Amino acid sequence: MSTAPPRVAVLDGGTGNLRSVAAAIARAGGRAEVVTTPAAARRAQALVVPGVGAFDTGIRALRATGLDGVISDFAAHGRPVLGVCLGMQLLHEGSEEGSLPGLGLLSGRARRLPAGGSVKVPHMGWNRVHWTAPHPYVDAIPQGTRFYFVHAYAVPPGPSAVGESSHGAPFAAACASGSVFATQFHPERSGAAGLVLYRSLVEAARCW
């Protein structure tokens, strides 16, 4: 196994906080490369699909650049893929926020969080996450750890969920299937616990 920092491609679909994600990957020991083309993405050992904003805007951007195909190819060959916030929703089957289908690498569709009383939407701030299934990326993170969220839509808990949180209703805070892992929260804004996730991604990338 190489000792050189593995390349981790941060996909630039125009909808993500790319600098923060790239900086977190660097702190975790990886070599972050913000990419806009399939050729550049394929040279990496792992992918990060970040994103903030509207679902249809995000999925259109991936398809317009051909990066959607790279994500699907990485997943099909067992190469690490990490989706963050909107990126997590794009990896699912779709969202009631938009009309376009998602990538379908994770089962389920995002729904708008329910608002009412003291529950405000969008959900912005720190919230506890309860792990519901084992996964190498989170096994070292204690139950009830707080992560930072900014979102109005979320996927209800389903078979791919490995972590849950609640804001008006329970939702999947983290999901996994094969080599694909995704978080509704922002690991790059979640302090030491978020850095654990990026370190796990970097270590997985070393195998490729």
Q: Which residues pair with 130 in a beta bridge?
A: 164
**Other CB atoms closer than 10 Å to residue 26's CB: what's the count?**
15
Question: What is d(CA 136, CA 197) in angstroms, rounded to the nearest whole number?
Answer: 9
User: How far is the C-alpha of 92 from the C-alpha of 80, rounded, in Å?
Assistant: 16
Encoded amino acid at 114, one letter: P
DSSP string spanning 81-126?
EEEETHHHHHHSSEETT-SS----SS--EEEEPP-BTTB-SSEEEE
- Residues with a catalytic annotation lie at 85, 186, 188
User: Contact, 10 vs 181, CB < 8 A?
Assistant: no
3-state class (DSSP) for residue 37: coil
- DSSP sequence for 139-203: TTSPTTEEEEEEESEEPPP-TTEEEEEESSSEEEEEEEETTEEEESS-GGGSHHHHHHHHHHHHH
Tokens at 103, concatenated: 């990538």
